[in-house]
Structure formats: C-alpha cells, structure tokens
Amino acid sequence: MAEERRAEPRGPLASHTNFLYHALRAAADKADTLIGALGIFLVAGLLVAAAGVAAFVSVASHVQSGKTQQFDDAVIRWMGAHHTRALDAIMVEITALGTGTVVLMIVAVAGLFLVLTSHKYSAILLLASTAGGILLNGLLKLGFNRPRPQIFLPEVHTVSSSFPSGHAMSAAIVYSTVAYLAARLHKRRWARWLVMTAAFAIIAAICISRLYLGVHYPSDVVAGLAIGLAWAGFCMATLEAIQKFGLRRDPQILRDETPAPAPEPNASSHH
C-alpha cells in the first residue's frame, strides 16, 4: 500500500513540493551521521542565540537613543493607576519567584535530582546555563547602568540598575531549562507540553509583576527575555548535540540522558 500511495500523483503542486520532500529526506539522512547531528543541533542553537542577541541589540539601541522612553513611561503609569491591595500582595509573591534566592534553590534541587538519577550532562547544562546567565546579566547591567523607573514609589526594594531585567532573564533561563529537562524525560507528549506551558506561564507572570511593581520598564523586561531565552536555547541545543555524540561513540555513556520514549498506544491492552 505504501508503494501504491507513493506512485499516485501528488497533484498540480507536485513539481513544487518534490524539492521539499527530497530536502527533508536528505536532512533526515544527514542527521543520522555524527557530524550531521552535531551540526544540525549546534547550528539550531546558534540560530536561536543569534535571534535573541539581535532582538536584544535592537531593544538596547532604541533604549539608548531614548526612543522607548515615552512608551515605557506610559506603560508604568498605566500599571500604577491600576493598583489594588489584593494585586499588590499577589504581585509581590509572584515576583519573589524570580529572585536570586528562589531561582538558585530551584537550580540546587533540580541539579541534585539530576545527579542522583545519573543525569550528569543535564545537571552540568543546568549549572552552566544558570551561572552563565548570572554573569551575563551582571555585565550587561554594568554596561548600560540604566536608572530604575521613578514614575511611582516601587512596592519592592531594588539595588541594581534597570536594564536588562535580571528577574526576566533569570526566569527565562532557569524555568525554561528546568522545564525542558523535565519534559524530555517524560514519556507522554501532552505532559511535556504541559510542563513547558507552565514554565512559560510562570516566566510571563514574573515579567508582568516587574512592570506592575514599578521596578522595570517594558524594554527592560523584553531585553531580559530575549537574551535569557537565547542563552537557554543555545545550552539546550548543546546538550542535544552532546547526547548524539555520546550515543554514537558509546551507547552506554548517555543511556540515562536519552529522552523517554513515548508509550505505545496499546500498551495497556497487553496486560
């Protein structure tokens, strides 16, 4: 039946789609080789990083030229005009999820779990992405040294400069990386999507809380998200490339790092 279906004409667009089919087959064959696997994943990581860096540079240039200031001030004023006592309490709790203490505790617990379950490379990825993010954020804050918003009295105390948002950046790196590591070890696709969706919902809530509390401009948050996701994406792609290398060199090296296979649809019917 498979041969008969391939023999059937694909329609008037066949001449345009044949190239796509051949390209997909070639990519699949290429991914089955060591160099191909390393190249595809590393290039994908570099592309994600390049896109994030480009977005960050674009926002930073607009911030330095003052083009975002009017919009930034307008958003903060709107946020300040919609404060309520209940929202104040909620946003303070949400923003705490992005503080250094909470983020590092999450990394410590997740890293310990990964080490105890022999996921050495995943643990290294998590620690490297977190440490790299902290260092990068500190350097960027020193370089730009943007004052914090003064539109209204902030609800929380701050000690560093405003651009880029450290909360947005650390949340983007840590929550997305932890969710990725958890999702790739889960057997069910819906659960993987649920974990990733929950992580991005937390990241979004933290970013909104920074605006609501008056400690960051929207451009600060966007820049932090862009560079944070870029760094996290590159680290994730690097782990995938390392796994491909290990599996081809010695299947036992990264046996526990292999993503969990999806369960068979009729697995329960065999019992």
Alpha-carbon distances, residue 34 vs 29, 40, 102, 204 (angstroms): 11, 10, 39, 37
**Contact assessment for residue 234 and residue 48, using Cβ atoms and an 8 Å cutoff:** yes
Angle at 36 between CA 32 and CA 42, to 5 degrees: 125
**Contact assessment for residue 213 and residue 156, using Cβ atoms and an 8 Å cutoff:** yes
Q: The tokens 């030229």 sit on which residue? A: 65
Higher pLDDT, 186 or 194: 194
Q: Dump pLDDT digits (tens) for 227-268.
A: 999 999 888 887 777 776 665 665 555 565 655 555 555 544
> Can you give the pLDDT at residue 4?
44
**Contact assessment for residue 104 and residue 251, using Cβ atoms and an 8 Å cutoff:** no
Helices (H), 145-268: 166-184, 189-212, 218-249
> Can you give the pLDDT at residue 1?
46
> Can you give the pLDDT at residue 121?
82
- Count other C-beta atoms under 10 Å from residue 131's C-beta: 11
Helix 189-212 and helix 218-249: axis angle, to 10°? Answer: 150
Look at residue 119 and give its three-state secondary structure: coil
Residue 2 has pLDDT above 70, yes or no: no
Letter for the amino acid at 88? Answer: D
Residue 17 has pLDDT above 60, yes or no: no
CA 8 to chain centroid: 43
Residue 34 has pLDDT above 70, yes or no: no
> Can you give the pLDDT at residue 19?
57
**Contact assessment for residue 163 and residue 150, using Cβ atoms and an 8 Å cutoff:** no
Q: Dump pLDDT digits (tens) for 48-65.
A: 788 888 999 999 999 988
pLDDT band at residue 29, thresholds of 50, 70 and 90? low
